[in-house]
Chain A
Amino acid sequence: DVKVTQSSRYLVKRTGEKVFLECVQDMDHENMFWYRQDPGLGLRLIYFSYDVKMKEKGDIPEGYSVSREKKERFSLILESASTNQTSMYLCASGRQGGSYEQYFGPGTRLTVT
């Protein structure tokens, strides 16, 4: 089974702090994605990556950055957390082409106070 893990299930941070969210997948997938999930808005793509050291902006990249130094690991960085970044963050991975199916991690619920 594909396994996507995220470093924390719950996180509470203060406004202005730098926040790192880590995601690891064990299926050698080329593609990795970061979404945020908000009620009524579904999932919105923040950033994605096709390969190591490669990144592309999604629909809502402002206030975020990412890092992919190894194929299995994709990090989301909030440079200076703000209260409007309080959300559920989901990581996903998928194979290049093929079925285009994405496999999701359990999510990190981030609260910025």
Chain B
Amino acid sequence: AQSVSQHNHHVILSEAASLELGCNYSYGGTVNLFWYVQYPGQHLQLLLKYFSGDPLVKGIKGFEAEFIKSKFSFNLRKPSVQWSDTAEYFCAVNRGWAAGNKLTFGGGTRVLVKP
């Protein structure tokens, strides 16, 4: 069965610090990769996605993610966080039509940015 692992459940850091959240998946075929974010009290929204092409993907709010196929990883990064980046972040994997357009989510990482 396909699984998605997020290594850190909780991350606490100060404003202006750099952020990197790890995500690994277990499926070896073609995948589509996503990072979603859930700000406190808000619904889940898409941060960025990777389908093909350049493995370095840029998303909203200064976030980027790098797909490393050999490591089955899709890590999320932001060079300098702000207090408003406090949220829960979810990595998700989709195998396209073969898997019925389903998304498999990681367990999530709660990020707290201290002002």
> Which residues of A are interface residues toward B (Cβ below 8 A)?
4, 31, 33, 35, 39-45, 48, 50, 56, 58, 90, 92, 94, 96-97, 99-102, 104-107
Assembled-state Cα–Cα distance A41/B42 (Å) = 19
Assembled-state Cα–Cα distance A31/B43 (Å) = 18
Report the stretch among B14-22, B63-71, B75-83, B94-102 that lies at the interface.
B94-102
Beyond A45-B104, A100-B94, A104-B43, 16 additional pairs, beta carbon < 8 A: A4-B43, A35-B105, A40-B107, A42-B90, A42-B105, A42-B107, A43-B90, A43-B105, A45-B102, A48-B102, A90-B43, A97-B96, A100-B103, A101-B34, A104-B45, A107-B43
Indicate if the CB atoms of A41 and B101 lie closer than 8 Å.
Answer: no
Indicate if the CB atoms of A100 and B44 lie closer than 8 Å.
Answer: no
Contacts of B103 in A (CB 8 A): 33, 43, 45, 100, 102
Assembled-state Cα–Cα distance A56/B101 (Å) = 12
Interface size of B by Cβ–Cβ distance < 8 Å?
27
Indicate if the CB atoms of B105 and A44 lie closer than 8 Å.
Answer: yes
Assembled-state Cα–Cα distance A43/B106 (Å) = 7
The contact of A106 among B43, B101, B102, B105, by CB within 8 Å, is B43
Q: Which of B28-42 contact A (CB under 8 A)?
A: 32, 34, 36, 42
Assembled-state Cα–Cα distance A46/B9 (Å) = 23
Interface centre among A40, A42, A101 (most CB of B within 10 A): A42
- Contact A58 B45, CB 8 Å, known A100-B32, A100-B94: no
Min CB gap B112→A, angstroms: 15
Indicate if the CB atoms of A58 and B44 lie closer than 8 Å.
Answer: no
Closest partner residue, chain A, to B32 (CB atom): A100
Indicate if the CB atoms of B101 and A94 lie closer than 8 Å.
Answer: yes
The contact of B101 among A96, A105, A107, by CB within 8 Å, is A96
